[in-house]
Amino acid sequence: MSKVEPREITTVLFDDFELLDVCGPLEMFGAAGQRFSIRLAGPEPGPVRSAQGPAVVADVAYRDAPPPDIVLVPGGIGTHRLVDDVGFKGWLAEWAADAQIVTSVCTGSGVLAAAGLLDGYRATSNKRAFAWARGQGPRVEWVPQARWVEDRKRWTSSGVAAGIDMALALIAHLHGEQLASTVADRVEHEWHRDPTWDPFAAKNGLAPTQE
């Protein structure tokens, strides 16, 4: 028999995370019925302030977070501190190593790269911070033009709103296209199903010039 319990998605919160990077995907997983269970890990249990101001409550401290099925690492200006935090990177690398799928939104892929979790994988990131992300992972095959990149156990999305499209693609991957379409309709979101759709790469000088 296949696994019937919901998959546990653990989101890694940190000071100055990007609000929509977290809430966009979690809205999609939350709208997919009982198939996903949402946990939020933070430096300590309790409120963690986003870069936009509103605080979201962590259920558990990093050190106490159970092994996750799926990991979600958001971006946000706080990632610039995280990539230099040796203790955090050590924890993330070990804790996420055996996860079924490790995902990131926006500059969260810079954090995954800095922790070594993207070595040997293809990945993308926020288009305005692409050079920064690239600098975190010299052994990552960075893909500049992509809404999201799926490479085996690593799913990385482009900036902020792209996390919503990646989450829907992940729901489709795990539970079928029909459920993902139903979720998109339920939240009245026009789902970009094509992972190569990315008008923002060209706007930031990251796409090949085309005639």
Strands (E), 135-174: 141-142, 148-151, 154-157
CA atoms within 13 A on the CB side of 40: 19
Residue from 56, 60, 174, 179 that binds a copy of itself (CB under 8 A)? Answer: 56
Number of residues in contact with a copy of itself, rule: CB under 8 A? Answer: 41
Please say which residue, 179 or 187, places its beta carbon nearer to a copy of itself.
187
**DSSP at 160:** T
What lies within 8 Å, CB to CB, of 35 at 6+ separation is 6, 7, 29, 171, 174, 175, 179
38 counts as binding a copy of itself under rule CB under 8 A: yes
The helix (run of H) or strand (run of E) holding residue 48 is strand 46-49
Residue from 52, 61, 94, 194 that binds a copy of itself (CB under 8 A)? Answer: 52
The values of phi and psi at residue 90, to 5°, are: -65, -45
Tokens 């106490």 correspond to 64
26 counts as binding a copy of itself under rule CB under 8 A: yes
Q: What's the closest the beta carbon of residue 139 comes to a copy of itself, in angstroms? A: 26
40 counts as binding a copy of itself under rule CB under 8 A: yes
Residue from 10, 14, 17, 31 that binds a copy of itself (CB under 8 A)? Answer: 31
Please say which residue, 37 or 100, places its beta carbon nearer to a copy of itself.
37
Cβ pair 22, 42 in contact under 8 A: no
- Residues contributing to the site for a copy of itself (CB under 8 A): 18-20, 22-24, 26-27, 29-31, 38, 40, 47, 50-57, 126-128, 158-162, 164, 185-190, 192, 199-200, 203
